Amino acid sequence: MSARERTYRYVGPADLLALVRPERMGAAMRSSAELTAWVEDLPPTELTEPFTFVVTTDGLLRLAARRSEHVVCAGGQLVLAAGEMTFVAEPSSGRWSVVEVTNQSTGYCPDPASWTAVAAALDRAGIEHPGGWTHEVAFRRCEACQERSIVREDDYVCVFCGAQLPRRWNVDPDAAGQLP
């Protein structure tokens, strides 16, 4: 982890923390070969949807089925990034590429700046990627009602109470002082 990377702790519903078990943690992807081996063991229906992903604080990409909770994929730990990812294998080479990637995780609510951790983890694993989020989500915590919100169409207004949302990421008040 570089000095400029923000960590994200789980801020979602407390009852989902009860699902966390070491044996349910997401599969580690250190290489394209590990991704290939993992995918080969999945039922074909799992390949039609994006995967849940996290990047752990050691920079490791972990994957789980889409219906998995991010906090379970991360083993309940802090992350550098979280979201969903869709892969395709190149027919000629069999090499994997990410074709869609988003920071959509209502459990960790990562800032779009977390892309740098995702890119670094994919680069280390030798997995091609689009160079940025294909769908970027901006999460904010309403300072008036304390609800977590998604900013839609650059409209920084809380859908719960109508208050203005801050322009800077503030979902986890305990992490607000972290960089970037």
Contact 99, 129 (CB under 8 A): no
Measure the CA–CA gap between 92 and 2, rounded to whole angstroms.
36
Question: 40-87, pLDDT tens digit by residue?
Answer: 999 988 888 999 999 999 999 999 998 899 999 999 999 999 999 999
Mean pLDDT of the chain: 92
Measure the CA–CA gap between 40 and 25, rounded to whole angstroms.
18
What DSSP designation does 61 have? E
pLDDT confidence band for 95 (50 / 70 / 90): confident
pLDDT at 1 over 80: no
pLDDT at 177 over 70: no
CA 18 to chain centre: 20
Contact 121, 151 (CB under 8 A): no
| Whole-number pLDDT of residue 93 | 79
| Whole-number pLDDT of residue 28 | 97
